[in-house]
Amino acid sequence: MTSSDSAPIRPGEELDLQALQQYLGTPLASISQFPGGHSNLTYLLTFTDGQQAVLRRAPLGPVAPKAHDMVREARILEAVSPLFPAAPKPLRICEDPAILGVPFFLMERRQGRILRTEVPADIAAQPDYAERISAAFVACLADLHRIDLAANGLLKLGKPEGFVQRQVKGWTDRWNLARTDDTPPDTDHVTAWLAANIPNSTAATLVHNDFKLDNVMLPADSIDRVEAVLDWEMATIGDPMIDLGLTLCYWCHSSFSTFTAGPGWYTRDQFLHHYARLSGHEVQDIRFHETLGVFKLAVILQQIYFRYRRGQTSDPRFAEFGHRVRSLTSKALELCR
């Protein structure tokens, strides 16, 4: 998929149209669903006057404690969007689970294109397209990490002290809670290595925590800037190397990336060089953060696979997630040995 277009709602993931319209006080012409992503459910609302908004809610079935907190995501966007133009503005926050069964929020609809599994022909025909998109992507991440937290009252969004330690413990706990009978046992080596090798942190910044190309929207008419950064559920305040390590996993390792590991795109070294130059942050202990990034990806997929195995979701895409988890844990083992 190479656009942000919506599609018909997947069976079983419908919204209560009557309850939603009554809550909003505005008639709806249609509701469709954005098919990308594997966790939170995202819908396109089109109103009878032609205006549009995006609705985000947690996935169906039981979820891990503190996960998929849509109210927190909306509050973060409230604080960040005035300072970071790529962050969509929230429009309405509903904390009452009686409306749709869970809290949800509405945010502005951004228009553009998302590169997921391939590069559209019209983009690929542009000169130096891979380098230009790479530059825009890295610049966007650096811009996020340059925001002055204290000057803008953002320190309240997280607790930077002990952030990396909490990351290691939190993701290890999530992993243990989501184990299935086919969970790779040698992952215990990864969690032990991470706990024993926690590095000193750099200065605290905003951390998106899932910064990857298919969470970034390019404007329809340009490949030299980012129109929107999506999926702020895990954003917080902490060590920017957490973002950098995870982003490199998606960007550079051919088993995870679709095309950015190929010719013309920034290499790992180029990515790190340009990030350091633009952000002003020293790149350090990146092996640890790459290992943690791969492990986090494994945990995220394992949590979804766990819900699938327990019958808490029936989305057929999740049936093969066990294989993907094993591939990720093997990569994490390779990185930390």
Q: What pLDDT score does 312 carry?
A: 84
Same domain, 260 and 143: yes
Q: What pLDDT score does 253 carry?
A: 75
Same domain, 79 and 156: no
Residue 6 in domain: no
Query: 42 phi and psi, to 5 degrees?
Result: -130, 130
The answer, yes or no, to whether residue 1 has pLDDT greater than 70, is no
- Domain with residue 87: its CATH number is 3.30.200.20
Same domain, 265 and 239: yes
The answer, yes or no, to whether residue 181 has pLDDT greater than 80, is yes
The answer, yes or no, to whether residue 257 has pLDDT greater than 80, is no
Residue 11 in domain: no
Same domain, 219 and 142: yes
User: pLDDT (tens digit, 9 = 90+) per residue, 103-160?
Assistant: 999 999 999 999 988 899 999 999 999 999 999 999 999 999 999 999 999 999 989 9
Exposed e or buried b per residue across 15-52, where buried means at least 16 C-beta atoms within 10 angstroms of its C-beta: beeeebeebbeeeeeebebbebeebbbbbbbbeeeeee
Same domain, 94 and 145: no
Same domain, 144 and 101: no
The range of the structural domain enclosing residue 292 comes to 121-336
Out of 51-60, 143-152, 311-320, least confident range: 311-320
DSSP string covering 40-67, please? Answer: SEEEEEEETTS-EEEEEEPPSS---TT-
Instruction: Calculate mean pLDDT across residues 36-51.
Output: 88
Same domain, 54 and 161: no
Same domain, 221 and 99: no
Instruction: Calculate mean pLDDT across residues 155-175.
Output: 94
Residue 183 in domain: yes
Residue 92 in domain: yes
What's the total number of domains in the chain? 2
The answer, yes or no, to whether residue 63 has pLDDT greater than 80, is no
Residue 7 in domain: no
Q: What pLDDT score does 186 carry?
A: 86
Same domain, 157 and 269: yes
Residue 193 in domain: yes
122 Ramachandran zone, left/alpha/beta (phi>0; psi -120 to 50): alpha
3-state DSSP helix/strand/coil % of the chain, to nearest 5: 40, 10, 45
User: pLDDT (tens digit, 9 = 90+) per residue, 15-27?
Assistant: 999 999 999 999 9
Q: What is the CA radius of gyration of the chain?
A: 20
Instruction: Calculate mean pLDDT across residues 227-236.
Output: 95
- Domain with residue 215: its CATH number is 3.90.1200.10
Instruction: State the chain's mean pLDDT as an integer.
Output: 91
Residue 81 in domain: yes
The answer, yes or no, to whether residue 68 has pLDDT greater than 80, is no
User: pLDDT (tens digit, 9 = 90+) per residue, 264-297?
Assistant: 999 999 999 999 999 999 998 899 999 999 999 9
Instruction: Calculate mean pLDDT across residues 191-197.
Output: 97
Same domain, 169 and 302: yes
User: pLDDT (tens digit, 9 = 90+) per residue, 83-100?
Assistant: 999 999 999 999 999 999
Same domain, 262 and 325: yes
- E-assigned strands of the chain? 28-33, 41-47, 52-57, 90-94, 104-108, 205-207, 216-217, 228-229, 236-238
Residue 268 in domain: yes
Confidence tier at 256 by pLDDT (50, 70, 90):
low
